[in-house]
Structure 1
Amino acid sequence: MCFAAAISSVVGMPSIQHAQPVVSLREVTRTYGQVHALDGVTLDVHRGAFTAIMGPSGSGKSTLMNVAAGLDDATSGQVFLAGADLRALDDDGRTRVRREQVGFVFQAFNLVPTLSAAENIALPFDLAGRRIDGETRAWIDHLVAVLGLTNRLSHRPGELSGGQQQRVAIARALASRPAIIFADEPTGNLDSRSSREVLTLLRTAAQEYGQTIAMVSHDPVAASYADRVLIIADGRVVGDHGRLSPQQISDLLIGFEVGAA
């Protein structure tokens, strides 16, 4: 069974709702000394959207992700994540929101090398002190099967290919059904075939499961898998587009780089 069909067959799958944004930023700034990494950013990310965040080097795209995920503090403005006002929370409160509402997929996979694939997938539950109930276990088993990891669960990361490690990271991110997954250059360490497989999995998770995904990438091919492409330059959102081809994205980025030269 393909990933799309398998995901859509899961009983009890949450419906896609577009009324309440999963992430909202209102006039958000983030400064480091005299540098304005974010400069008055206002945007919403709705449930079930697969959003690519693009921009020239130093444009603020990684800062945008870190602030939206509660990994970094906004200097001013409001940041809402899964309904929580991050600026009103202390460190413990933000950590709790991240554990309960956010999944992460990173370029470097960020798997614990001494743990098996199964233990890495279960790690967020262990860290949060959450018991994996029967329904969640069935969902994890389903993800593992669809992602082709059934025969790799006892393997440690060093015994897996890069593509398999990223699949483990995706299973870990999806396991708790978070409000949003932030993906930071998720295909940066993968070959072209593994990259296509991972990007197809992310797109299908958004389209069929209603998973919200925000992906930072420098790669126009990767961004072309997204439903929405945000272009960041000089800390501001300068472009907000629907699905684009790799060539269209490249042309946009080149235009901003030329304009900044």
Structure 2
Amino acid sequence: MCQGAPTTTLEGMQNTPPIVSFRSVTKEYGTGAGAVRALDDVTVDIRAGEFTAIMGPSGSGKSTFMNVAAGLDDVTRGEVLVTGQPVHRMTDQQRTLLRRDRVGFVFQAFNLVPTLSAAENIELPFELAGRTLDGETRRWIEHLSTVLGLRDRLGHHPAQLSGGQQQRVAIARALASRPAIVFADEPTGNLDTRTSREVLTLLRTACGEYGQTIAMVSHDPVAASYADRVLVIADGRIAADHNRLAPQDISRLLIGLETAA
């Protein structure tokens, strides 16, 4: 499980029920001679409480991995399960409901609504789902806002917030509904070094203190070093799967894979 110290081992998580399961997943774009195989017979689990960094060269299939796991894209072959539910068999409406109720997203571009305040952005998923915030949920959002340092910024609009503050709002929005898993797509890509560290620390806190499961797509070895697990995809396949690594070890791993290609 995600912890403050780098003592996590993959062996210690083997009995934890998976949040996401891929079974012989292949994803192809196009048909015939021009078809591109973005994922090639991938079998892997993301277990509850893990902070997993998904890495790989440009075009390796890491973004496709996330899109398929989140039900944003269909598989060509194989099975994808999220919290035990067969996403590969779902209709578009069923996938939309699954993402609404069980999945959170944090993006590089923040994706906040500029005309809404920070508080309104955090509560937006509930508004879109037609869900009334009960007392417990309001207390949870207040707690998140405090932990994320947003209590005095909730009335501000995105343009009045720094990049780091906007990303904190996005993290609060992702965690507010207590999703089974949060997918973070290059969440520090638009942030400076100090703010990136703060955001990554917050993600680890969400994992370690709240039991949140996080899958983060990243190209940055420093960002990936905050994760419990480093999953490397190359040419659509799982090329490496390690427990927590230091940035220099991740860099050597990626360089080694590129050299061998």
Q: TM-score range by the shorter chain?
A: over 0.9
Aligned-residue offset at 1:19: 3.3
1:93 aligns with 2:94: yes
Report the equivalent of 1:13: none
Aligned to 1:23: 20
Structure 1 vs Structure 2 CA RMSD: 1.5
Structure 1 residues 70-219: aligned runs within 5 Å: 70-219=71-220
Residue pair 1:105, 1:183 contacting (<8 A) in 2 also: yes
Per the alignment, residue 8 of structure 1 pairs with none
| Helix, strand or coil at the partner of 1:253 | helix
Contact 1:18-1:47 within 8 A present in 2 as well: no
Query: TM-score of the superposition, structure 2-length normalised?
Result: 0.92
C-alpha contact (below 8 Å) 1:69/1:102 kept by paired residues: yes
Distance in structure 1 (CA, Å) of the matches to 2:114 and 2:182: 22
Question: Following TM superposition, by how much is the alpha carbon of 1:207 offset from its aligned partner in structure 2, in angstroms?
Answer: 1.4
Find the aligned partners of 2:89 and 2:51 in 1 and give their Cα distance.
27
Matches of 1:123 and 1:113, distance apart in 2: 12
Deviation at 1:87, TM superposition (A): 1.4
The code of the aligned residue for 1:252 comes to L
> How far apart are 1:17 and its partner, in Å?
11
Aligned residues: 247
Task: Tell me, in whole angstroms, the C-alpha distance in 1 between the residues paired with 2:192 and 2:103.
Answer: 27
- Structure 1 gaps of 5+ residues are 6-15
Q: Is the 8 A contact 1:23 1:45 kept in 2?
A: yes
Kindly tell me: are residues 17 and 145 of structure 1, through their superposed partners in 2, closer, same or farther at Cα, counting changes over 3 Å? Answer: farther
Counterpart residue type for residue 114 of structure 1: T
SS at structure 2 position matched to 1:77: strand
Secondary structure of the equivalent of 1:104? Answer: strand
Contact 1:17 1:47 in 2 (8 A): no
What's the CA shift string for 1:155-214, capped at 9, x where partnerless?
110110000000000000010000000000000000001000000010111112110000
Fraction of identical pairs, as percent? 72
